[in-house]
Amino acid sequence: MAIIEQHQLLENLKEGIKKAQFLSESVLVSYSKQIEFIDPLVFYRNGEILYKGSRIYWSDVEDVTMVGLGSAVVQAYNGEERFEKIEEYWRKVITGAVIHREVDVKGTGPVCMGGFSFDPVQMKTRLWKDFPDANFTVPNWLLTVKGNQCFLSINASVNEHMDPCTIESQLIDLEMQLLKNNTIPTPSQGESLMVEENQINEWLAMVHKSIDAINKGEMEKVVLSRTTTVTANKTFDQSSVLLALQERQSDCYTFAFEKGTSTFVGSTPERLIKKAGGKFNTMCLAGTISRGQTAEEDQKLGETLLSDPKNRDEHQMVVTMISDAMGKVCDKIVKSDSPQIYKSKDVQHLYTPIKGETKRELSLLSVVKALHPTPAMGGVPTEKAIEAIRERETYERGWYSAPIGWFDEDGDGEFVVAIRSGLITKENAVLFSGCGIVADSDPQSEYLETKIKFTPMLTALGGGWE
Ligand SMILES: C=C(O[C@@H]1C=C(C(=O)O)C=C[C@H]1O)C(=O)O
């Protein structure tokens, strides 16, 4: 087992405390090093007692997993200026921080992880009581796994009254506990669950109404979502759910944000934006069909989707909006002229990747703000669609269909759109699923599409459709 490089950590803590004395405010100290391999889900589980209510799990499509435990720094904000407020706060934290890395690896050190709600104006309900419109934290402990290499970052907020030796010895004790070997969880399966799709008739009526509004020219597209409630006879085991998601949804981003007694979990195929220096990567994902039972049927379904005018139109609206938004902030953008197929375990989508580049200073959060909500989650025109969602949907979306992700001290990072997800509270889970409604939509097919989109979460909880 790797032991903290005591000397260096102590030096960093001393420096941080001195700085805190000088500034008369808390300072973030961050120290990272390579450690022996530990399964990220074991680390997540090891943090259950000490850091219950503040754990984060994030695994991307490029084989990087990050697990955050506890909060060295946390910032929450409700209201429409959330992107600016988080950015302002982060700049301040990072300017004062003392950062030391034994290894120069992205995704280590003071990584700020969190998410936003879909609509800060939508009425708040109890469901999302622990999830503000913006909530970001720098975990006390961040495990970063790249392939089979593991890195541990220790982040601590220190103030002028602290004693560096005491903090150091506490950290050494904690590290031993968090890195201990433990059994790897097994995926949940065949659990006895009660599964209830909520308000199906109300949802279908809302789809009919929206199609009428679209035909009257009030808008072109609106994304309507609904919920399914799942109840188990015992508390869901988060590590098992995450493992099941990761194994079945290998082409997706698997995430968990634990806040208080609830955890927002899911496996999304949809990247919103990734920033590395002046390079940005985004994608348009809209237009859906099921997977086939055989390779031949699957291929045929993909071809049907590619040549279906209704899905192509729906997809094009997303491409137009995202290319316009990226075109405004980047010096150049590159995108293909026609969509490809993106296959995940349960569904296939139309997919157009878009790359952007700029030489100017452009922050990740300002691009998140410019893109959210894309017409894959809101609609066209955006304002009309958001109003329709606010008025018609019968529940609070919270963080579902909203940007979640991370960024670092250089401003690099990645945000995805939190779909194929659910909110777990002890033995209860609320799952979310939506689809784009356009003039040619057939309410029954849209209902079935949303039903398939519940499948990734439902199976991860150990259930399935009858
Ligand atoms: C809104 C969701 O999915 C979005 C809607 C899609 C569609 O309407 O075809 C496809 C992918 C996603 O952009 C969801 O899964 O909840």
Q: Which atom of ligand 1 is nearest to the CA of 285?
A: 13
Interval between CA 289 and ligand 1 midpoint (Å): 11
- Asked if residue 348 has pLDDT above 90, the reply is yes
Per residue in 123-161, pLDDT tens? 999 999 999 999 999 999 999 999 999 999 999 999 999
Same-domain check for residues 175 and 222: no
Structure confidence at residue 5 (pLDDT): 56
Per residue in 287-305, pLDDT tens? 999 999 999 999 999 999 9
Same-domain check for residues 38 and 128: yes
- Please check whether residue 280 is in contact with residue 332, taking contact to mean a CB–CB distance below 8 angstroms: no
Give the mean pLDDT of 337-350. Answer: 96
CB within 8 A of 294, min separation 6: which ones?
A: none
If you take atom 9 of ligand 1, which residue's CA is the nearest one?
287
Share of the chain above pLDDT 90, in %: 95
| CA neighbor of 306 nearest in space, from 280, 290, 288 | 288
- Please check whether residue 351 is in contact with residue 282, taking contact to mean a CB–CB distance below 8 angstroms: no
Interval between CA 127 and ligand 1 midpoint (Å): 22
Per residue in 438-448, pLDDT tens? 999 999 999 99
Q: Is 196 left (phi over 0), alpha (psi -120 to 50) or beta?
A: beta
Residue 444 lies in a domain: yes
Same-domain check for residues 268 and 400: yes
Interval between CA 434 and ligand 1 midpoint (Å): 6
Give the mean pLDDT of 309-334. Answer: 97
Residue 45 lies in a domain: yes
- By most ligand atoms within 8 Å of CB, the mutation choice from 210, 272, 349, 400 for ligand 1 is 349
> How many whole angstroms separate alpha carbon 246 and alpha carbon 97?
34
- By most ligand atoms within 8 Å of CB, the mutation choice from 288, 290, 397, 458 for ligand 1 is 288
Residue 186 lies in a domain: no
Residue 418 lies in a domain: yes
Measured distance between the N- and C-terminal CA atoms of the chain, rounded to whole angstroms: 47
Residue 188 lies in a domain: no
Domain residue limits at 403: 193-461
Same-domain check for residues 221 and 354: yes
> How many whole angstroms separate alpha carbon 98 and alpha carbon 15?
7
Residue 252 CB less than 6 A away from ligand 1 = no
If you take atom 6 of ligand 1, which residue's CA is the nearest one?
286
Interval between CA 436 and ligand 1 midpoint (Å): 7
Per residue in 221-278, pLDDT tens? 999 999 999 999 999 999 999 999 999 999 999 999 999 999 999 999 999 999 999 9
Does 314 belong to an annotated binding site?
yes
Interval between CA 288 and ligand 1 midpoint (Å): 7
- By most ligand atoms within 8 Å of CB, the mutation choice from 222, 285, 345 for ligand 1 is 285
Same-domain check for residues 172 and 199: no
| CA neighbor of 110 nearest in space, from 98, 125, 126 | 98
Q: What share of the chain is helix, strand, coil (3-state, %, to 5)?
A: 35, 30, 35
Does 449 belong to an annotated binding site?
yes
Give the mean pLDDT of 215-223. Answer: 97
Amino acid at 250: S
- Concatenating the DSSP letter of every residue in 89-116 gives HHHHHHHH-EEEESS--TT-SS-EEEEE
Give the residue numbers marked as catalytic. 221, 270
Interval between CA 61 and ligand 1 midpoint (Å): 18
Q: Which atom of ligand 1 is nearest to the CA of 400?
A: 16
Give the mean pLDDT of 42-65. Answer: 96
Among 133, 151, 179, the domain-final residue is 179
- Please check whether residue 57 is in contact with residue 266, taking contact to mean a CB–CB distance below 8 angstroms: no
Structure confidence at residue 364 (pLDDT): 97
Same-domain check for residues 159 and 269: no
Same-domain check for residues 319 and 357: yes
CA distances, 122 to each of 119, 142, 204, 388, 393 (Å)? 6, 33, 21, 11, 10
Residues in the chain: 466
Could you tell me which residue, 182 or 5, shows the higher pLDDT? 182
If you take atom 10 of ligand 1, which residue's CA is the nearest one?
286
Reported in sequence order, the residue ranges of 159-220 that DSSP labels E, i.e. its strands, are: 193-197
Amino acid at 158: V
Same-domain check for residues 298 and 407: yes
Reported in sequence order, the residue ranges of 102-216 that DSSP labels E, i.e. its strands, are: 112-116, 134-138, 141-146, 149-158, 193-197
Cross-strand partners of 283: 353
Angle, helix 443-460 to helix 238-248, in steps of 10 degrees: 120
Per residue in 69-109, pLDDT tens? 999 999 999 999 999 999 999 999 999 999 999 999 999 99
Residue 248 CB less than 6 A away from ligand 1 = no
Residue 223 CB less than 6 A away from ligand 1 = yes
Amino acid at 279: K
Residue 434 CB less than 6 A away from ligand 1 = yes
- By most ligand atoms within 8 Å of CB, the mutation choice from 419, 432, 445 for ligand 1 is 419
Burial of 417 (0-12, 13-18, 19+ CB in 10 A): buried
Structure confidence at residue 6 (pLDDT): 61
Give the mean pLDDT of 208-220. Answer: 97
Dmax (CA) for the chain in angstroms is 71
CATH of the domain at 324: 3.60.120.10
Residue 259 CB less than 6 A away from ligand 1 = no
Structure confidence at residue 433 (pLDDT): 98
Residue 73 lies in a domain: yes
Residue 187 lies in a domain: no
The count of C-alpha atoms lying within 13 angstroms of the C-alpha of 343, restricted to the half-sphere facing its C-beta, is 10
If you take atom 2 of ligand 1, which residue's CA is the nearest one?
434
Same-domain check for residues 414 and 278: yes
Among 152, 179, 206, the domain-final residue is 179
| CA neighbor of 55 nearest in space, from 116, 106, 113, 107 | 113
Same-domain check for residues 242 and 143: no
Residue 288 CB less than 6 A away from ligand 1 = yes
Number of compact structural domains in the chain: 2
Interval between CA 194 and ligand 1 midpoint (Å): 25
Q: What are the tokens at 271?
A: 């990247």
Q: Which atom of ligand 1 is nearest to the CA of 315?
A: 9
Structure confidence at residue 1 (pLDDT): 43
- Asked if residue 378 has pLDDT above 80, the reply is yes
Residue 289 CB less than 6 A away from ligand 1 = no
Angle, helix 309-329 to helix 364-371, in steps of 10 degrees: 140
| CA neighbor of 379 nearest in space, from 308, 449, 286, 445 | 286
The sign one gets for the Cα dihedral 13, 14, 17, 19 is: negative
The count of C-alpha atoms lying within 13 angstroms of the C-alpha of 406, restricted to the half-sphere facing its C-beta, is 29
Residue 376 lies in a domain: yes
Interval between CA 55 and ligand 1 midpoint (Å): 27
Q: Which atom of ligand 1 is nearest to the CA of 377?
A: 1
CA distances, 86 to each of 79, 136, 242, 262, 365 (Å)? 11, 8, 28, 23, 9
Same-domain check for residues 206 and 175: no
> How many whole angstroms separate alpha carbon 164 and alpha carbon 145?
28
Same-domain check for residues 225 and 126: no
Among 134, 154, 179, the domain-final residue is 179
Residue 274 CB less than 6 A away from ligand 1 = no
- Concatenating the DSSP letter of every residue in 299-361 gives HHHHHHHHT-HHHHHHHHHHHHHHHHHHHHHSSEEEE-SS-EEEE-SSEEEEEEEEEEE-SS-
Across the chain, what does the average pLDDT equal? 95
